[in-house]
Amino acid sequence: MSATLEKIGQAMDTKELAVLKVDTLGKSGSFTAILKGMKDLSAEDRPVIGKLVNEARDKLERVFLSNEQRLHILEVNETLKNNQQDVSIDKKIQMGSLHPLHIVKQRIIKFFVGLGFWVEDSPEIESEYYNFTALNVPADHPARDMQDTFWLSNHLLLRSQTSNGQIRTMEQKKPPLKMLSPGRVYRADEIDATHSPCFHQIEGLVVDKNITMCDLKGVLEAFAKEFFGAQTKIRFRPSYFPFTEPSVEVDASCFACGGNGCRICKGTGYIEVLGAGMVNKKVLQNCGIDDTVYSGFAFGMGLERLTNILYQIGDMRALFDNDVRFLRQFQ
Ligand code: PHE
């Protein structure tokens, strides 16, 4: 017995221990032979010896079990040590990067949120009411032709501008309003260097008491300085949008040449940035806002346009091709 216990303690691994266990407690094991010999004992001896033998078997089993566990832990640790892998470095994996459109969108949103604007989501599949009628573009209005629209049915369309977000916000919330409506818009244009049937706009809307064109100019000038640099100046040119009156086209002085004229601003010293204006009274009325108490301004900018200007990307298609060699430059 003591020789067996010694062997158990000396076993080098679980395999050796298992063999020893079979040799001891197995069917033809040495200890099993003792158990079998019990039947030859006298009736007096059997209970005394039987008790001792049972105790010895229990002890053997306990010692086998504790040694099995001990060796198993050693073996697991050994395996872990020998199969270690450094998962922290793998030069083959390329880190992804944010898409340039996303970078520019986040920059714009961050600026306006800093001024107290909040972001509203509005549907891309829209009714003609929100995309046109409520924005003062009735069915027979020639301005519907300014935007080649994808019609889905008689009254449903893919929105051609994010201005639908203005109407939905003015319908749902009471002034003061200060919101941004970013998202995809669709127009039936052929794809070329400056056109895509799907592109992105960011719309802005402010409605409150005493909002004037000075507020519009101040906000957009601050934006242009943030976006293009502190030296940037802006100018308003008269324009026309059915949902704003008066309407303006906003230019920023060229960030590359400072206004002297260069390749980026095509020699004009200015870059066209966005469309804007004072919310047309008819639009306020359509949304149930009292236009004798409230006034507002709105603006809308094309994200692809601003991204192309900022990063000097010559062809808008680069923004949609998802060529990793192009995207990697924005890491
Ligand atoms: N929705 C106009 C466009 O798509 C942009 C705009 C928005 C102009 C808000 C004025 C006010 O061209």
| Nearest ligand 1 atom, CA 302 | 4
Query: Ligand 1 mean position to 34 CA, how many Å?
Result: 99
Query: Ligand 1 mean position to 325 CA, how many Å?
Result: 34
| Nearest ligand 1 atom, CA 166 | 9
Query: Ligand 1 mean position to 167 CA, how many Å?
Result: 13
* 8 Å CB contact between 283 and 277: no
How much is the pLDDT for 46? Answer: 87
Query: Ligand 1 mean position to 161 CA, how many Å?
Result: 7
d(CA 11, CA 158): 77
pLDDT tens-digit map of 214-252 = 999 999 999 999 999 999 999 999 999 999 999 999 999
pLDDT band at 158 (very low <50, low <70, confident <90, very high): very high
Given a cut of 90, whether residue 180 has pLDDT beyond it is yes
| Nearest ligand 1 atom, CA 275 | 8
List Cα–Cα distances, 284 to 167, 238, 275, 293, in angstroms. Answer: 9, 21, 19, 11
280 lines ligand 1 (CB under 6 A): no
User: Which residue's CA is minimally distant from atom 6 of ligand 1?
Assistant: 300
Q: What is the mean pLDDT of the chain?
A: 93
* 8 Å CB contact between 223 and 232: no
Tell which one of 147, 203, 272 to mutate to probe ligand 1, the residue whose CB is within 8 A of the most ligand atoms: 203
Q: What is the mean pLDDT of residues 159-164?
A: 97
Q: To the nearest 10°, the Cα dihedral for 44, 49, 51, 56?
A: 180
- Within a 10 A sphere around the Cβ of 60, how many other Cβ atoms? 19
| pLDDT above 70 as % of the chain | 99
User: Which residue's CA is minimally distant from atom 9 of ligand 1?
Assistant: 299
How much is the pLDDT for 172? Answer: 96
Q: What is the mean pLDDT of residues 14-38?
A: 90
pLDDT tens-digit map of 162-179 = 999 999 999 999 999 999
The pair of three-digit structure tokens given for residue 27, joined into one six-digit string: 């069917």
112 lines ligand 1 (CB under 6 A): no
Given a cut of 80, whether residue 157 has pLDDT beyond it is yes
Is 140 or 105 the better-scoring residue by pLDDT?
105
Given a cut of 80, whether residue 147 has pLDDT beyond it is no
pLDDT band at 43 (very low <50, low <70, confident <90, very high): confident
203 lines ligand 1 (CB under 6 A): yes
DSSP assignment string, 101-164: HHHHHHHHHHHHHHTT-EE----SEEEHHHHTGGGT--TT-GGGGGS---BSSSSEEE-SSTTH
275 lines ligand 1 (CB under 6 A): yes
Amino acid making up residue 23: D
Query: Ligand 1 mean position to 35 CA, how many Å?
Result: 98
- Within a 10 A sphere around the Cβ of 126, how many other Cβ atoms? 24
Q: Could you tell me which of 204, 237, 213, 218 has the C-alpha nearest to residue 295?
A: 213
Query: Ligand 1 mean position to 200 CA, how many Å?
Result: 12
Amino acid making up residue 55: E
Tell which one of 131, 149, 161, 181 to mutate to probe ligand 1, the residue whose CB is within 8 A of the most ligand atoms: 161
244 lines ligand 1 (CB under 6 A): yes
Query: Ligand 1 mean position to 292 CA, how many Å?
Result: 24
Query: Ligand 1 mean position to 43 CA, how many Å?
Result: 109
Given a cut of 80, whether residue 14 has pLDDT beyond it is yes
List Cα–Cα distances, 275 to 59, 249, 327, in angstroms. Answer: 91, 5, 29
Q: What is the mean pLDDT of residues 84-105?
A: 84
How much is the pLDDT for 156? Answer: 95
24 lines ligand 1 (CB under 6 A): no
298 lines ligand 1 (CB under 6 A): yes
Q: Is 139 exposed, middle or buried (0-12, 13-18, 19+ CB in 10 A)?
A: exposed
Beta-strand relationship, 118-119 and 177-186: parallel
164 lines ligand 1 (CB under 6 A): no
Given a cut of 90, whether residue 39 has pLDDT beyond it is no
